[in-house]
Amino acid sequence: MKEWCIATASAEYVAHMEDVLEVYTQPYDPLRPVVCLDETSRQLIEERRIPVTQPGQVELVDYEYRRCGVVNLFMMFEPLAAKRFVEVTNTRTRVDFAHCIKELVDIHYPHAEKILLVMDNLNTHSIASLYQAFPPAQARRLAEKLEIHHTPKHASWLNMAEIEISVLARQCLAGYSVSADDMRAKVNAWQFRRNSACLSVDWHFTTADARIKLKKLYPVFA
């Protein structure tokens, strides 16, 4: 059974939606990269019995397994450059998010003047997380590198990082991973292949489309 979050018509929703859609119209600029960020959790699982494989037949996997904890995956995706960076962490805290942002700023985009960051309103996705993880001067330095654009509530479809997470899940996360290191190895290999092939998301939905197709979400004027 699929579950859907139904958006409620409001000025706040459409304001955030149109803001993100306008960001997506920006031309490629290495000094002002548009980066989408999202995260997901995955269960670590150890198989209790070795799968049975025979040439020309489907692999048989036993239903018995052992839970080995949970890891969090941060997806940082720059659509116009067809680049993604996935960070696997053992926890999902403000500090984890802050270190992810530091890696984004200092390692992946050290020469950017400003990173246009699209993400949702999760409570850890805020400038406050930087101040919880780093001394004030360092937190301020990182914050000044960001131009944050939040998606509306119940609008994961609007974040292209969510699309990349779906691709990651289908292509890389279907099997079992027994440890965080095992997960990192699989994710890094997937990331390398996809980046090397310059694969991206072909986004076409615009503000003009939203005002027609999502008209019911806009406030009504007499």
* Residues with Cβ within 8 Å of residue 151, at least 6 apart in sequence: 16, 17, 20, 118, 119, 120, 121, 158, 159
Pick from 35, 18, 12, 3: nearest CA to 153 = 12
**Position 217 in a domain:** no
pLDDT at 180 over 90: no
**Position 47 in a domain:** yes
For the chain, how many structural domains are there in total? Answer: 1
**Position 216 in a domain:** no
CATH number of residue 35's parent domain: 3.30.420.10
The answer to whether the CB of 76 falls within 8 A of the CB of 161 is yes
CB neighbours of residue 142 within 10 Å: 21
Q: Encoding tokens for residue 44? A: 């670590």
**Position 10 in a domain:** no
Domain, as residue range, for 194 = 29-51+58-152+159-202
pLDDT at 1 over 60: no
Residue whose token pair is 């960051």: 117
| Summary count for the chain: helices (H), strands (E) | 7, 5
User: pTM of the full predicted structure?
Assistant: 0.85
**Position 211 in a domain:** no
pLDDT digits (tens, 9 = 90+) for 110-152: 999 999 999 999 999 999 999 999 999 999 999 999 999 999 9
pLDDT digits (tens, 9 = 90+) for 7-27: 677 899 999 999 999 999 999
**Position 11 in a domain:** no
